[in-house]
Amino acid sequence: MSRKPADPSNRQAGKPLLAVLRGQALSPPPIWLMRQAGRYLPEYRQLRQDKGSFLDLVYDSDAAAEITLQPLKRFPQLDAAILFSDILIVPFALGQNLTFIAGEGPRLSPILAETAIEDLNPFPARLDPIYDTVRKVKAALDRTKTLIGFAGSPWTVATYMAAGQGSRDQAETRRLAYSDPARFEAIIRRIEDVTVDYLLGQVEAGVEVVQLFDSWAGSLSPAQFEQWVIVPTARLVDAIRARHPDLPIIGFPKGAGGKLRAYARETGITALGLDETVDPVWAAKELPEDLPVQGNLDPLALVAGGETLQAAVGRVLDAFAGRPHIFNLGHGILQDTPVAHVEELLAQVKGTK
């Protein structure tokens, strides 16, 4: 399938988030929130009750588009919509069975700690409903808002595929990577291939920015981080840029800490997402001045609200003043976050409080 290069002039006109990703410093900064569409919103909970399971919602493109747009209808100060989906759609397309167990999270089978990835039967058509969602959101989205697509980075997706579920320290996956690096490399490469196709499909359907979520990057030793986070991410970025050289790509290696500089330098990402453990003062000093950064309010400060929230927001804004910055959380918004606290956050960031 031929893919046309993106037209940056059409994508970026009048959109603050895209301006920052081009290297502009804006005051106030653009803002969106990871997991901004989800369980903290009563309208989401009602729709899920009406429609069924999480996976049912993801594969109902009308419902998924509605969920993607819900936070922008409630909070018009948000500068972007992020696609409502899940990083485990890629393993599902690679041939693993995917279920979500209430109160426990996702489950994948068969697990790759016991099964060769070559034995899975791929189902690429499982990606098609996601592209339908993107098209429906794009058609309804305010032209000043940016549409963000996403995928999991190869390492993080591999941790779920190898163990069949999430874990605290990814020990089973790290053990596999140490004991049989050739086999693990094959897993990473297959994830890369499908992820590139998946993200290119999202771009063709209408997304203007993509974010790579590496939620478990912080569990790796420095050498493994280079091998399983930086190198695969760089290959993925190169493959996407070969088709869409102007596409902004946000990398979010949660827990990377002191490895953030190497990640930003070696992967080729456009902007660097920072988790809540990163001192914004350190980041502003140590990261390249022209590198757009995203983050990094602690989601629990948003839950707390009041003076705690005000001080935490102020610290982030002060640290990144004068440089390209997208305000966001350091990880996903928590389900017990009061809607009123999100309103407080937006008022402070946008200077209307």
In whole angstroms, how large is the CA radius of gyration of the chain? 19
Distance from C-alpha of 77 to C-alpha of 349, rounded to nearest angstrom: 10
- 50-67 burial code (b ≥16 CB/10 A, e <16): ebeebbebbbbbebbbbb
Hey, which residues does 107 pair with through a beta bridge?
A: 99
- pLDDT score at 166: 86
- pLDDT score at 5: 36
- pLDDT score at 339: 98
Contact 302, 3 (CB under 8 A): no
**Does an H or E element contain 82, and which?**
strand 80-82
| Catalytic residue IDs | 35, 39, 48, 86, 160
> Crossing angle, helix 128-140 and helix 181-205, to 10 degrees?
40
Residue ranges and CATH numbers for the domains of the chain are: 24-66+294-353 (no CATH), 85-273 (3.20.20.210)
- pLDDT score at 104: 78
- pLDDT score at 7: 40
Distance from C-alpha of 79 to C-alpha of 341, rounded to nearest angstrom: 18
- pLDDT score at 11: 41
**Cα angle 66, 338, 299; round to 5:** 90
Contact 264, 224 (CB under 8 A): no
Q: Is 327 helix (H, G, I), strand (E, B) or coil?
A: strand
Among residues 330, 345, 216, 215, the alpha carbon closest in space to that of 279 is found at 330
Among residues 320, 340, 228, 336, the alpha carbon closest in space to that of 271 is found at 320
350 token code pair: 């946008």
Q: Give the CB-side neighbour count of residue 83, counting CA atoms within 13 A.
A: 34
**Does an H or E element contain 150, and which?**
strand 146-152
The set of long-range contacts for 102-105, using a CB threshold of 8 Å and a minimum separation of 24, is 104/165, 105/165, 105/166
Among residues 122, 116, 120, the alpha carbon closest in space to that of 180 is found at 116
- pLDDT score at 13: 52
User: Which residues in the chain show pLDDT less than 50?
Assistant: 1-12
| Residues in Cβ contact with 96 at an 8 Å cutoff, skipping those fewer than 6 apart | 108, 109, 110, 120, 161
- pLDDT score at 353: 63
Distance from C-alpha of 352 to C-alpha of 293, rounded to nearest angstrom: 23
- pLDDT score at 14: 87
**Cβ-count burial of 322 within 10 angstroms (0-12 exposed, 13-18 middle, 19+ buried)?**
exposed
Distance from C-alpha of 224 to C-alpha of 219, rounded to nearest angstrom: 9
